[in-house]
């Protein structure tokens, strides 16, 4: 039999308990919200600073002219850097995309065995490698062997950066193609390679393009591998076995110059680079990923979109 006194005691205890727990809950929620604000503010600040400072530097001359002499009145532009970045993206895609796509085909179509798992694992590890290590490696392998800095060396280094991303995203998009599509092909007596090329790759097209574009966005911003391979230059491209300039490299060089004009140019170059990278990232989301939530999630988990 519970006496009224006991009931009152229970009630106070219950109120105390619930009150304490609700308070703790509120405190945690507040802390979490604070975390979000503290973390978001600098992140947003970076974008705002780059956009405001960078857009001030933009002009047609800035985008197309070669850089002026260091410290001179005419600051010139970043034309060679933009050209170099485009050339580098093109050449490294030439190596990275076919190998990456074929590797992805292997992982998805033939990779359900020990060797496939090994490749997948090391591929994931390679994707997270410090890019400076890839730069030093390319320097030792290519630049020291050939004897000079070249566009080829830079493209080779960047192709190593993009390869694992292309390979994994290809694999994931191919795996999403229902096995019945393949079986339909086999039933018609089509050979396996035709099935893969005409049916599977075709159905997985958007995922494939997404992966390639994301890897391009990634290598567009890479600086560390380029320091050791293309050296940088202030002229437009002059043959593929000579040095060349690239946007991230130019930003780095500009940041170490003590002139106001260099600072303005640095912001301008950062603005161009960020626009390039972010427009690829945002564009990809809207063009391909909206209806493909599954691919999207998988890519994200792989760190391709990070």
Partner 1 sequence: MVDPLISGLITKCIMMTIKMKKGSPHVDKIFKYVAIGAATYVLAIIALIVFNLGTGSAQVWQQEGISFLTGSDWNSVEGRESYGAAPYIMGTLVNAGIAMAIAIPLSFGIAMFLSELSPRLLRTPLAMVIELLAAVPSVVYGLWGLLVFRSYIKDWIEAPLHNVFGDNSIIFAGTPFGLDILTASIVLAIMIIPTIASISKEIMMAVPNSQREAAYMLGATKWEAFRLAVLPYSKSGLIGACILGLGRAVGETMAVTMLIGNATGAAAFPSSLFQPGQTLASIVANEFAEASQGGLHLAALVGIGLILFMMAFAINVVAHLLVAKVVKSHEGAVLA
Residue ranges in 152-171 that form contacts with partner 1 under rule CB under 8 A? 160, 163-164, 167
Beta bridge partners of 55: none
Buried b (16+ CB within 10 A) or exposed e, 217-248: bbbbebbbbbbbbbbbbbeebeeeebbbbbbb
Q: Which is nearer to partner 1, 5 or 158 (CB)?
A: 158
- Single residue of 51, 64, 68, 137 touching partner 1 by CB under 8 A: 137
- Single residue of 196, 200, 230, 244 touching partner 1 by CB under 8 A: 196
Site for partner 1 in 245-264 (CB under 8 A): 248, 251-252, 255-256, 263
How many residues form the binding site for partner 1 (CB under 8 A)?
Answer: 99
Q: Which is nearer to partner 1, 77 or 96 (CB)?
A: 96
Site for partner 1 in 260-289 (CB under 8 A): 263, 266-267, 270, 273-274, 277-278, 281-282, 285
- Single residue of 85, 92, 131, 261 touching partner 1 by CB under 8 A: 131
- Single residue of 8, 36, 70, 188 touching partner 1 by CB under 8 A: 36
Q: Which is nearer to partner 1, 50 or 58 (CB)?
A: 50
Which phi and psi (to 5°) does residue 242 adopt?
Answer: -115, 175
Q: Which span sits near partner 1 by CB under 8 A: 31-39, 74-82, 204-212, 234-242?
A: 31-39
Site for partner 1 in 208-247 (CB under 8 A): 217-218, 220-224, 227-228
Binding mask 97-126 for partner 1 (x = CB under 8 A): -xxxxxx-xxx-xxx---xx-xx-xxxxxx
What's the min distance (Å) between Cβ of 295 and partner 1? 10
Q: Which is nearer to partner 1, 16 or 110 (CB)?
A: 110
Q: Which is nearer to partner 1, 1 or 215 (CB)?
A: 215
Q: Which is nearer to partner 1, 59 or 306 (CB)?
A: 306
Q: Does 79 bind partner 1 (CB under 8 A)?
A: no
Q: Which is nearer to partner 1, 206 or 281 (CB)?
A: 281
Q: Does 11 bind partner 1 (CB under 8 A)?
A: no
Q: Does 39 bind partner 1 (CB under 8 A)?
A: yes
What's the min distance (Å) between Cβ of 298 and partner 1? 7
Which phi and psi (to 5°) does residue 137 adopt?
Answer: -60, -50
Q: Which is nearer to partner 1, 240 or 282 (CB)?
A: 282
Q: Does 92 bind partner 1 (CB under 8 A)?
A: no
Give the angle 45-223-130 at the CA atoms, nearest 5°: 95
Distance CA 68, CA 73 (A): 8
């Amino acid at each position: 039999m519970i006496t009224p006194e006991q009931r009152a005691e229970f009630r106070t205890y219950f109120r105390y308990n619930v009150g304490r727990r609700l308070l703790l809950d509120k405190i945690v929620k507040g802390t979490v919200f604070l975390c979000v604000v503290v973390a978001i503010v600098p992140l947003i600040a970076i974008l705002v600073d780059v956009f405001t400072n960078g857009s001030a530097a933009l002009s047609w001359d800035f985008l197309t002219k070669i850089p002026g002499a260091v410290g001179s009145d005419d600051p010139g532009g970043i034309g060679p850097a933009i050209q170099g970045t485009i050339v580098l993206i093109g050449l490294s895609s030439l190596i990275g995309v076919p190998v990456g796509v074929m590797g992805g085909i292997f992982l998805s179509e033939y990779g359900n065995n020990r060797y496939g798992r090994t490749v997948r694992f090391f591929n994931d590890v390679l994707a997270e490698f410090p890019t400076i290590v890839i730069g030093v490696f390319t320097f030792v392998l290519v630049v020291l062997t050939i004897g000079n800095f070249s566009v080829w060396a830079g493209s080779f280094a960047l192709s190593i950066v993009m390869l694992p991303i292309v390979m994994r995203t290809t694999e994931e998009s191919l795996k999403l193609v229902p096995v019945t599509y393949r079986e339909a092909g086999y039933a018609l007596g089509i050979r396996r390679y035709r099935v893969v090329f005409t049916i599977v790759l075709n159905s997985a097209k958007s995922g494939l393009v997404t992966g390639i574009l994301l890897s391009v966005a990634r290598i567009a911003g890479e600086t560390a591998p380029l320091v050791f391979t293309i050296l940088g230059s202030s002229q437009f491209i002059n043959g593929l076995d000579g040095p060349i300039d690239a946007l991230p490299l130019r930003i780095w060089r500009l940041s170490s110059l003590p002139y106001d004009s260099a600072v303005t140019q640095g912001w301008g170059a950062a603005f161009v680079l960020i626009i390039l990278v972010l427009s690829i990232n945002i564009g990809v989301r809207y063009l391909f990923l909206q209806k493909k939530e599954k691919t999207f999630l998988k890519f994200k988990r792989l760190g391709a979109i990070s």
